[in-house]
Each structure stands twice: as C-alpha cells, then as structure tokens.
C-alpha cells in the first residue's frame, strides 16, 4: 500500500480508512504507543500497537531511531494535541536501531553535541524545522526573482579570478603537491596544471554575473561560495551559499530598495508558509533567551522580530552619518566601545553595527557610501573623491546580512583603481573589457543565505543552519 505522509494525514478526516505510514520511531511508551516522524512535518503521528497480539520479539525491536512501516486504520485520537492516530494492523521494521547505542535519546541534546553527529542530527525536531525553513527560503528566492523577470545564471565554481580581491581562496589543482613540475626559475609551473593556469574555488559569482547583467538586464546567481578566511566564528563558514542579483541601469538607491524588498519578501514568505516550524523555533529561541542575562535578552520574540522586519522600512544612513552617531554615543552608561571610532575611514566593528541596529535605530540599517579604502576595487567612486557607492544591510542579531554596491562602469577609473591596488589586471582583462563595449550603470549585492536562515530561524550559530558545515578543521561529514 502506498504510504501517506504524516503532514497529509494530520489534516485528513479520520473514518477508519486504511493508511500506511513510514518513518522513524521517536518514542515507544507502555508497549503500546509509537510516536513516528517522517520529516514531512514537525509533528509525530501516534500509532497504537495491539501488544496482546504482537509477538514479543517484534515489540522489542520498536526502539527510538528504528525505521518502521505501519499499516492500519486512521481514527480520531482520544489523546489531546493530536487530531488522529493509527490503529496498527501490520507493523514492519525496515531498519533496526540499537537503543543502547543510538546517540539521539528522547531528550534535548546540546547543539555542540549534535554537530558531532551531523549525519543523524536531521532526525531531531530542531534540525528538521531549520532545514524545512531553509528549503522554503531557497524556493522563495527563486520565486521572488522569477516574479520580477530576473534570469537565474549559473556562474562557475572553479575560477581564475579573485572576485573580492581579498585573496582568501581555496586553490584548485591537479599537480602533485609533493613533487610539482617547476619552470626554469624553479617556480611551480602552473602551465602544466589541469587548466594551464592557477585556479581557485569561487569567492563570489559577481564578476561573471555582471557580464550577464550587461546582456540580459536583470540576473541573479544562487550557489555555493568558498572562503579560506578565519571562519571560527558563529557568523562565518568556509563554504556558504550566496544569492547575488545584478541589475543593469540600477543605481545605488535602486539597489537598496531591491535589497529591502527582497529581504521583506523572504521573511513574509517564511511567516506565511512555515508557521508550524516557526512556532517551534520561536519557543526554542525563547528558552535560549531565558538562559542569558537579562540585559542581553532580545526585546522581541523571534516571530515578533520577523513581523517587525517584514513591515517596517529599513533605516538608510551614510557611513559618515554613522560615524558621527557612533562618536557621540556610549553603548551604555559606564562602558565605551571596545574599539573607538576616532578616525573617519575606520572600518566598523560588529559592536558598532550592533549598536546602530539594536540600540540606536532598533531596526535594520542600510549603510552606504563607505570610504573607498575599506571596500572592494569594483565599487563606483563617488564625486567626493573619498567614498564609493557601497552598501551593507545590517540586521538585528546578525550584523551584515547583505553587502553590495553600484559598480564602477567607467573604464579609466576602474583600470586606475585596479592598478593602484596592485591587482592582477591580466586576469581581469575580460572584466575591464566589459567597460569598453557598451558599458552601462549597474548595481548588485550578495545575500549570505545562511545568515538569512539564522535570522529567520532564531538559531545562533551558522554551523547549525547548513546541513554539513565547513569550517577550519571540519570536513568530516
């Protein structure tokens, strides 16, 4: 008999019809009540076993973690909190689970512990909920851009360029690390490498994305990106997913508006389509909050925070205005910032970003027009000669969720900047050439997908919102 997913059964009117459910045992009580979860919803279905007529040997195999297939009658449940249950007529164990050894017990485990068993953690309520929300958000990303006529462009994972000019790249090579071929000067000869040159895993699809924006108008990328930077924080991964829209004829103002519309759309989508999982995550986040000292607790619950962000305009503010606010503020009566912002031109630390978002404006902030010296080479130079048309979107509890800019579309200015910074213009020839043939004003940004998922789920460590996190020293699973 074809199986029915639990999500569907829970909204079916029970009239004793035959159903088959397949899933994993969460608990087995009183030799009678099996709670089964199949991942289609956070809720379990209760199956009631007739233990008088079930062999002891079979009953013993109904253990937490085992995979079962049951067929029986769908009936109204007398127990509270569940509309239906299944009166078991046939029970089959598809996969045994040794109760003594199964690491997931029916109790709350710490997230640190669960990270060590990343191959099993999807069987917990928390990870089930987070991954269903993650799926919904990925779907909503495509839906948003499709509704606006953007073209999804697949940019390469292996590249010859360093899009951010930051050098934090993973090398891709087929050369023998112990004995690489060498040229006459004794340097490693990359001409003999697979691609005949040095290559890396991409840090961003932006540069390639720009080439398509200057042909198709509005495009976006959505794929994995890699950074060999120190990612031993709760906000960084060595492998993360990024969404990068790029739009011809957009200036920085249009770019900021799109970033706000996009984020609000995603958050609204989650509220509308992930209600059950968000309710669970909301409770979970509240419990976490209770473990923090009073002054560190957030004023709003997860769901209220999502509603607030989806309904209110973000605060737009230039870097210079932000510096003025920060210079005249003390985060609380006694303490100053750990890093003082004395000089115009200094990069903001996360404590400054948090102050602006969480204490001063109490809403998401879009900072724009940053000093050129602290931003990437491709950003459009403003007429003041000091700043570039960069923008960062800062979110409560997250910090930077989006980074973007209007791009420098003027060939001479871009070339000069590339040379000033000593970047390899021979690798960037094609990017520069775009400015020679039909250049156009254009803008774009990158949304860190996992940072979005952190915000929407209320989870606090980025390693817990991606199925298999990559960070220094960890690529086991």
Q: Which residues bind ligand 4AD (CB under 6 A)?
A: 163-164, 204, 206, 227, 231, 236-237, 240, 242, 244, 400-404, 444-446, 448, 450-451
Nearest CB to ligand 4AD, comparing residues 72 and 404? 404
Nearest CB to ligand 4AD, comparing residues 25 and 453? 453
Pick one of Mg ion, ligand 4AD, none as the site partner of residue 227 (Cβ within 5 to 8 A by kind).
Answer: ligand 4AD
Going from the C-alpha of 71 to that of each of 1, 224, 248, 257, the distances in angstroms are 8, 41, 57, 53
Nearest CB to Mg ion, comparing residues 281 and 390? 390
- Which ranges of 163-231 does DSSP label H, i.e. alpha helix? 206-216
Strand, coil or helix: what is 217?
Answer: coil
Pick one of ligand 4AD, Mg ion, none as the site partner of residue 323 (Cβ within 5 to 8 A by kind).
Answer: none
Q: CB 336 → Mg ion: shortest distance, Å?
A: 26
Pick one of ligand 4AD, Mg ion, none as the site partner of residue 231 (Cβ within 5 to 8 A by kind).
Answer: ligand 4AD
CB 445 within 8 A of CB 205: no
Nearest CB to Mg ion, comparing residues 34 and 341? 341
Here the tokens at position 465 are 């919102």
CB 61 within 8 A of CB 69: no
Residue 300: which residues within 8 A CB-CB, separation 6 or more? 308
Strand, coil or helix: what is 356?
Answer: helix
Dist CA 457 CA 276 (whole Å): 12
**Rg of the chain over CA atoms, in angstroms?**
27
Dist CA 317 CA 314 (whole Å): 10
Q: CB 450 → ligand 4AD: shortest distance, Å?
A: 5
Pick one of Mg ion, ligand 4AD, none as the site partner of residue 451 (Cβ within 5 to 8 A by kind).
Answer: ligand 4AD
Dist CA 223 CA 155 (whole Å): 8
φ, ψ of residue 243 to 5 degrees: the values are -110, 125
Nearest CB to ligand 4AD, comparing residues 355 and 378? 378
Q: CB 155 → ligand 4AD: shortest distance, Å?
A: 10
Nearest CB to ligand 4AD, comparing residues 70 and 452? 452
Q: CB 222 → ligand 4AD: shortest distance, Å?
A: 12
Q: CB 275 → ligand 4AD: shortest distance, Å?
A: 26
Q: Which of 395, 448, 442 shows the shortest CA–CA distance to 414?
A: 442
Q: CB 150 → ligand 4AD: shortest distance, Å?
A: 14
Buried b (16+ CB within 10 A) or exposed e, 396-423: bbbbbbbbbbbbbbeeeebeebbeeeeb
Pick one of ligand 4AD, Mg ion, none as the site partner of residue 244 (Cβ within 5 to 8 A by kind).
Answer: ligand 4AD
Nearest CB to ligand 4AD, comparing residues 127 and 445? 445
Where on the chain is the footprint of Mg ion (CB under 5 A)?
Answer: 403
Q: CB 378 → Mg ion: shortest distance, Å?
A: 13
Q: CB 436 → Mg ion: shortest distance, Å?
A: 28
Lay out the sheet containing 315-318: strands in order across. 151-152, 218-226, 239-248, 442-448, 399-406, 387-395, 365-371, 315-318
Pick one of Mg ion, ligand 4AD, none as the site partner of residue 399 (Cβ within 5 to 8 A by kind).
Answer: none
Pick one of Mg ion, ligand 4AD, none as the site partner of residue 370 (Cβ within 5 to 8 A by kind).
Answer: none
CB 429 within 8 A of CB 213: no
Q: CB 424 → ligand 4AD: shortest distance, Å?
A: 17
Q: How many CB atoms lie within 10 A of CB 181?
A: 12
Q: Running DSSP on this structure, what letter comes out for residue 320? A: H
Strand, coil or helix: what is 373?
Answer: helix
Nearest CB to Mg ion, comparing residues 364 and 403? 403
Pick one of ligand 4AD, Mg ion, none as the site partner of residue 65 (Cβ within 5 to 8 A by kind).
Answer: none
Nearest CB to ligand 4AD, comparing residues 284 and 463? 463
Pick one of Mg ion, ligand 4AD, none as the site partner of residue 458 (Cβ within 5 to 8 A by kind).
Answer: none
CB 446 within 8 A of CB 221: no
Q: Which of 311, 274, 205 shows the shortest CA–CA distance to 453?
A: 274
Pick one of Mg ion, ligand 4AD, none as the site partner of residue 46 (Cβ within 5 to 8 A by kind).
Answer: none
Q: CB 183 → ligand 4AD: shortest distance, Å?
A: 33
Nearest CB to ligand 4AD, comparing residues 72 and 444? 444
């Amino acid at each position: 008999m074809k199986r029915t997913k639990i999500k569907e059964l829970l909204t079916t009117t029970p009239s004793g019809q035959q159903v088959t459910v397949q899933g994993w045992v969460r608990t087995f009580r009183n030799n009678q009540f099996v709670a089964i979860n199949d991942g289609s919803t956070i809720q379990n279905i209760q199956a009631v076993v007739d233990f008088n007529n079930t062999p002891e040997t079979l009953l013993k195999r109904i253990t937490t973690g085992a995979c079962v297939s049951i067929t029986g009658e769908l009936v109204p449940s007398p127990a509270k909190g569940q509309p239906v249950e299944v009166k078991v007529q046939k029970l089959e164990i598809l996969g045994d689970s040794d109760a003594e050894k199964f690491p997931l017990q029916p109790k709350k485990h710490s997230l640190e512990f669960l990270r060590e068993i990343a191959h099993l953690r999807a069987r917990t309520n928390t990870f089930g909920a987070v991954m269903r929300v993650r799926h919904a958000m990925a779907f909503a990303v495509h839906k948003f851009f499709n509704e606006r006529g953007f073209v999804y462009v697949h940019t390469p994972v292996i590249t010859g360029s360093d899009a951010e000019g930051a050098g934090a790249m993973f090398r891709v090579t087929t050369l023998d690390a112990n004995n690489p071929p060498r040229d006459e000067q004794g340097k490693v000869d990359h001409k003999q490498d697979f691609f005949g040159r040095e290559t890396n895993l991409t840090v961003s699809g932006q540069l390639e994305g720009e080439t398509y924006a200057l042909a198709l108008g509005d495009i976006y990328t959505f794929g994995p990106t890699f950074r060999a930077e120190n990612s031993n924080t709760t906000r960084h991964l060595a492998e993360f997913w990024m969404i990068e829209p790029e739009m011809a004829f957009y200036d920085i103002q249009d770019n900021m508006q799109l970033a706000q519309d996009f984020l609000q759309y995603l958050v609204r989508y989650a509220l509308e389509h992930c209600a059950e999982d968000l309710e669970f995550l909301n409770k979970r986040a509240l419990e976490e909050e209770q473990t923090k000292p009073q002054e560190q607790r957030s004023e709003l619950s997860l769901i209220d925070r999502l509603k607030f962000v989806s309904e209110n305009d973000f605060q737009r503010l230039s870097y210079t205005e932000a510096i003025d606010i920060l210079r005249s503020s003390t985060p609380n009566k006694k303490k100053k910032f750990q890093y003082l912002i004395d000089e115009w031109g200094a990069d903001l630390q996360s404590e400054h970003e948090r102050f602006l978002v969480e204490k001063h404006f109490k809403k998401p902030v879009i900072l724009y027009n940053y000093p050129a010296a602290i931003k990437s080479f491709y950003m459009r130079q403003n007429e003041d000669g000091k700043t570039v048309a960069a923008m960062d979107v800062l979110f409560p509890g997250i910090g930077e969720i989006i980074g973007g800019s209007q791009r420098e579309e003027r060939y001479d200015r871009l070339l000069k900047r590339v040379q000033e910074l000593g970047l390899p213009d021979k690798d960037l020839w094609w990017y520069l050439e775009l400015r020679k043939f039909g250049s156009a004003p254009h803008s774009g940004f990158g949304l860190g997908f996992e940072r979005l998922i952190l915000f929407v789920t209320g989870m606090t460590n980025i390693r817990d919102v991606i199925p298999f996190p990559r960070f220094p020293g960890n690529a086991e699973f």
